[in-house]
């Protein structure tokens, strides 16, 4: 008990949580923050429907494609150094998006934002994990998970509120002062670390970047061009072939960016597949439900966001508790319960949704979904990092984030396709008719994720027995001379 107390009070760990949490919030927020601002952007900058879709998709595309590359660069050249570089690119691109004079410039700025986020985001989890002792990671990752989960789900609320009460440009300006403050803090307060003996895998980087580009490009264009169109089929076929080449490369190359040996661990396999399916169901459903509250229920963007708070705000309350629970009883039961609650919430929505449904009837589904999302995020991060050695944590984080982003793109594409096939925007009833079957698919995807979460190992004695080795690894591989120097600079924390 006494042995665990000092790390919880470590100033360096607290600073790592603050810096990585704020950076993660910005990167995760920009996935959906633009959705409720699209009408205002179109009125101001013009553009066809496809152009407006790309203001969302350009970010998702570059983010997903370059996540693995960003993580590999951090392992090779220094995680803190590359984190600061990615944060700088993201901040400058946010200002460029706010200043965009036309729709083409906005799309380009969004793509560059995705590049910065792809370098920054996977390194946040690695830097935080290295700064917090293994015995306290569940609690720290609980707070991190709460912030990240809130950012993902509250994008429509924040975007709608800023657009309605200030201007659409402020959905991007809001990132600038945060980024400017975080850059010097990261330089002063985060310890540098690398993966021992890491090498930059250029062939693997090209294969996975090209493969993810082809697949994600096809997914985000499927609705506009059709699933059987030449560009979409070409992207899916070539992208899948390149990903297959990446898998083969990772199976036979000792210096591969992502060694396929990691997937032999059933926990690593299960948590990554579960994450992909969780984001598929959640992203696609939020995309449709936020529009339902505005287009069918008649709420303004701000009013719609406020009414989603039982879902979007729940991580701030539940996720830290979920992190503590995962320390005590293990990640598997908490992650599985969270995914089950999320699936039940989406299924509840599908059952009760109608053109004249009351908000009171939606409230239980919102609460269930919020609890489920909160229970998932923190223990999932903890479970992921516990399945790999410290030297592989950057690769694990990049893989997990890339699969989540691909899942989000797939969710929006698939659920929107179902929506278009079964309904449309013509009338409230048509919108409802399209949304209900899409929600059932989202619920089914998350339910499958819950089943896959059962692949995670039990809390068992393996994690606690490995804890001393983890602490030793922290003091050797991740606790470099720079780490110890940073600790000596903050004696007041103890």
Angstrom distance (rounded) from CA 221 to CA 289? 21
Cβ atoms 5, 133 nearer than 8 A? no
* Among 73-77, 113-117, 136-140, the least confident range: 136-140
Nearest to 390 by CA among 135, 75, 143: 75
Q: How many angstroms separate the Cα of 449 from the Cα of each of 359, 425, 439? A: 28, 30, 15
Rg of the Cα trace of the chain? 21
Give φ, ψ of 167 to 5 degrees: -165, 160
58-87 mean pLDDT: 85
Residue 470 above 60 pLDDT? no
Backbone φ/ψ region at 133: left (φ over 0), alpha (ψ -120 to 50), beta: beta
* Widest Cα–Cα separation across the chain: 65
Cβ atoms 370, 310 nearer than 8 A? yes
Residue 79 above 50 pLDDT? yes
* Among 231-240, 284-293, 351-360, 365-374, the least confident range: 284-293
- 3-state SS track over 444-462: HHHHHHHHHHCCCCCCCHH
pLDDT for residue 87: 95
52-79 mean pLDDT: 81
3-state secondary structure of 490: coil
Q: Which two tokens stand for residue 188?
A: 């002063």
108-123 mean pLDDT: 90
Angstrom distance (rounded) from CA 408 to CA 410? 5
Q: pLDDT tens digits, residue range 472-483?
A: 333 333 433 344
Angstrom distance (rounded) from CA 412 to CA 406? 10
Look up residue 226 and give its DSSP letter. -
Q: Which helix (H) or strand (E) holds 208?
A: helix 202-225
Angstrom distance (rounded) from CA 345 to CA 451? 16
pLDDT tier at 179 (50, 70, 90 boundaries)? very high
- Overall pTM > 0.85: no
pLDDT tier at 199 (50, 70, 90 boundaries)? confident
Q: Which two tokens stand for residue 279?
A: 């984001």
Angstrom distance (rounded) from CA 87 to CA 120? 6
Angstrom distance (rounded) from CA 393 to CA 147? 21
Angle at 478 between CA 473 and CA 481, to 5 degrees: 115
85-105 mean pLDDT: 95
DSSP 387-422: TS-GGGHHHHHHHHHHHHHHHHHHHHHHHHHHHHHH
Residue owning tokens 């390194």: 123
Q: Which two tokens stand for residue 88?
A: 């700088």
Q: pLDDT tens digits, residue range 243-272?
A: 999 989 988 787 777 788 888 888 888 889
Neighbours of 81 (CB within 10 A): 17
Cβ atoms 66, 216 nearer than 8 A? no
Pick 175 or 327 by higher pLDDT: 175
Q: pLDDT tens digits, residue range 384-438?
A: 877 887 777 767 777 787 788 778 777 877 888 788 778 877 888 998 999 999 9
């Amino acid at each position: 008990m006494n042995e665990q107390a000092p790390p919880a009070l470590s100033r360096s760990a607290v600073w790592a949580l603050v810096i990585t949490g704020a950076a993660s919030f910005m990167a995760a927020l920009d996935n959906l923050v633009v959705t409720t601002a699209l009408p205002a952007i179109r009125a101001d900058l013009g553009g066809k429907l496809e152009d407006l879709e790309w203001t969302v998709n350009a970010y998702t595309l570059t983010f997903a494609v370059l996540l693995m590359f960003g993580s590999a660069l951090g392992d090779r050249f220094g995680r803190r150094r590359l984190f600061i570089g990615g944060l700088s690119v993201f901040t400058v691109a946010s200002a460029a998006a706010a200043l965009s004079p036309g729709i083409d410039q906005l799309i380009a700025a969004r793509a560059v934002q995705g590049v910065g986020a792809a370098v920054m985001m996977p390194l946040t989890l690695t830097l935080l994990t290295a700064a917090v002792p293994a015995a306290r990671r569940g609690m720290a990752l609980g707070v991190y998970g709460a912030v990240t989960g809130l950012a993902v789900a509250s994008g429509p609320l924040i975007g709608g509120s800023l657009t309605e009460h200030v201007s659409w440009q402020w959905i991007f300006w809001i990132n600038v002062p945060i980024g400017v403050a975080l850059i010097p803090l990261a330089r002063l307060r985060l310890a540098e670390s690398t993966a021992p003996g890491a090498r930059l895998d250029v062939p693997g980087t090209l294969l996975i970047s090209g493969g993810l580009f082809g697949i994600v490009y096809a997914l985000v264009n499927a609705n506009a061009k059709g699933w059987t169109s030449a560009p979409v089929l070409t992207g899916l076929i070539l992208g899948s072939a390149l990903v297959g080449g990446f898998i083969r490369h990772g199976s036979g190359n000792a210096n591969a960016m992502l060694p396929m040996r990691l997937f032999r661990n059933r926990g690593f396999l299960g948590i990554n597949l579960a994450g992909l399916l969780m984001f598929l169901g959640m992203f696609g459903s939020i995309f449709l439900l936020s529009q339902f509250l505005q287009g069918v229920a008649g709420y303004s963007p701000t009013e719609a966001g406020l009414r989603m708070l039982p879902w979007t705000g729940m991580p701030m309350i539940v996720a830290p508790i979920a992190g503590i629970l995962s320390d005590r009883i293990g990640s598997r039961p908490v992650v599985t319960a969270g995914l089950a609650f999320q699936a039940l919430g989406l299924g509840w929505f599908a059952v009760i949704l109608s053109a004249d449904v009351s908000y009171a009837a939606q409230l239980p589904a919102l609460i269930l979904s919020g609890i489920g999302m909160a229970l998932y995020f923190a223990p999932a991060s903890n479970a992921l990092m516990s399945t790999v050695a410290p030297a592989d944590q950057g690769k694990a984080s990049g893989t997990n984030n890339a699969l989540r982003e691909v899942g989000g793109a797939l969710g929006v594409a698939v659920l929107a396709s179902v929506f278009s096939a079964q309904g449309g925007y013509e009338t409230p009833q048509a919108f409802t008719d399209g949304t209900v079957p899409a929600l059932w698919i989202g619920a089914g995807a998350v339910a499958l994720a819950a089943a896959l979460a059962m692949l995670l190992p039990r809390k068992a004695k393996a994690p606690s027995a490995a804890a001393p080795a983890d602490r030793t690894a922290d003091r050797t591989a991740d606790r470099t001379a720079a780490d110890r120097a940073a600790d000596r600079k903050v004696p007041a924390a103890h």
